[in-house]
A = this chain, B = another copy of it.
Amino acid sequence: MGYLDDLNQAFSTYPYPLEENPKVAFAGTAGSYGEQAALSFFKNKCSLSAFQNFDEVFACLEEGQCDYGVLPIENSSTGSIASVYDLLSRYHYYIIGEEEVRVKHCLLAPPGATLKDIREVYSHPQGFSQSQLFLKDHPDWICIPYHNTAIAAAFVADQKDISKAAIASKRTSQLYDLAVLADDISFSQTNVTRFVVVSKKMKLRKNPSRVSIVFHLPHRPGALYEIIGVFSVFSLNLCKIESRPLLKENWEYLFFMDFTGNISENTLKNVLPIIEEKVETFQFLGYYPQYEN
């Protein structure tokens, strides 16, 4: 019952104010959406370290080299990022806040380039698919996939060749001195990535409202209906539900769920054990203020 002890501890120090100028780790490079999320959450008052992948961010937290990690957890078009859920479970760390970043791609090229000059475009495969309506008007361009939009922009800046462009955020154009040939070319105006701010210890910031949990559910009829019933009884609002088959376990399911509502300390301490009893390998991931625009 580790999480209930952690919850008691966290309520005893409520509300927990964020440190001044904390050390923050994120996965990505300068100009990436991960960096943008971290700067936005900490209102530019933090010292940032960039890491190549999610594992390294968690390792940095474990070694006490940073206070918080900022990681993408869900994208409005590609769904939940299971590896971050895995890491949260493996390390038993907690979500203490969230940030949303709207993905707005631009076409960037070295200064002096015009649309007519472009022959090759570099971006993450998602950058291409999210800009497909724009790219349809330029069928002769060769699209070369890169692991990361910001790295694609850095490469294009480095080449200084006006026939090469990158699809990346506007922020990278400033970082790498690139011209914006076309602004906001993303297919969906509403492509948003949700980031979570992760801490080694549970910390309850002021006015928490969203709860994240993850659990396994055996594949028997009615199991899910029972769980959803609990939320209904306590008038809680499910704002996210996602199932993933756990194939080795003969079609057991892993569920990611978030709920909101007017949640008192008592409600939380009652509801979580009720759900825990109905499922297998329950994990409470955090109780935190929702992102506000």
Extra A-B contacts (16), CB below 8 Å, given A221-B232, A222-B232, A241-B241: A76-B244, A76-B245, A78-B78, A78-B82, A79-B242, A125-B147, A145-B146, A190-B247, A190-B248, A221-B236, A221-B237, A225-B228, A225-B229, A239-B251, A240-B243, A240-B245
Measured in the bound complex, the distance between the Cα atoms of B219 and A146 in whole Å is 37
Count of this chain's copies in the oligomeric assembly: 2
Residues of A within 8 A of B (CB-CB), count: 42
Measured in the bound complex, the distance between the Cα atoms of B77 and A239 in whole Å is 21
22 pairs from A and B in contact (CB 8 Å cutoff): A76-B244, A76-B246, A76-B247, A78-B78, A78-B79, A79-B79, A79-B82, A79-B242, A79-B244, A83-B129, A145-B147, A190-B247, A221-B232, A221-B236, A222-B232, A224-B238, A224-B241, A225-B231, A225-B232, A240-B243, A241-B241, A242-B243
Identity of the chain B residue whose Cβ is nearest the Cβ of A132 in the assembled complex: B55
Identity of the chain B residue whose Cβ is nearest the Cβ of A80 in the assembled complex: B79
User: Which residues from B are CB-within-8-Å of A247?
Assistant: 76, 190, 192
Measured in the bound complex, the distance between the Cα atoms of B149 and A145 in whole Å is 13
Q: A235 at interface (Cβ–Cβ under 8 A)?
A: yes
Q: A189 at interface (Cβ–Cβ under 8 A)?
A: yes
- A242 interface neighbour in B190, B231, B241, Cβ under 8 Å: B241
Measured in the bound complex, the distance between the Cα atoms of B232 and A229 in whole Å is 12
Measured in the bound complex, the distance between the Cα atoms of B240 and A251 in whole Å is 11
User: Which residues from B are CB-within-8-Å of A236?
Assistant: 221
Nearest-neighbour CB distance to chain B for A125, whole angstroms, equals: 6
Measured in the bound complex, the distance between the Cα atoms of B247 and A192 in whole Å is 8
Nearest-neighbour CB distance to chain B for A188, whole angstroms, equals: 8
Nearest-neighbour CB distance to chain B for A292, whole angstroms, equals: 13
B83 touches A189 (CB 8 A): no
Measured in the bound complex, the distance between the Cα atoms of B237 and A243 in whole Å is 13
Nearest-neighbour CB distance to chain B for A215, whole angstroms, equals: 14
User: Which residues from B are CB-within-8-Å of A53?
Assistant: 129
Identity of the chain B residue whose Cβ is nearest the Cβ of A189 in the assembled complex: B248
A221 touches B239 (CB 8 A): no
Nearest-neighbour CB distance to chain B for A224, whole angstroms, equals: 6
- Ranked nearest first, the 7 interchain pairs of A and B with the lowest CB-CB distance are A145-B147, A190-B247, A79-B79, A190-B248, A225-B232, A242-B242, A225-B228
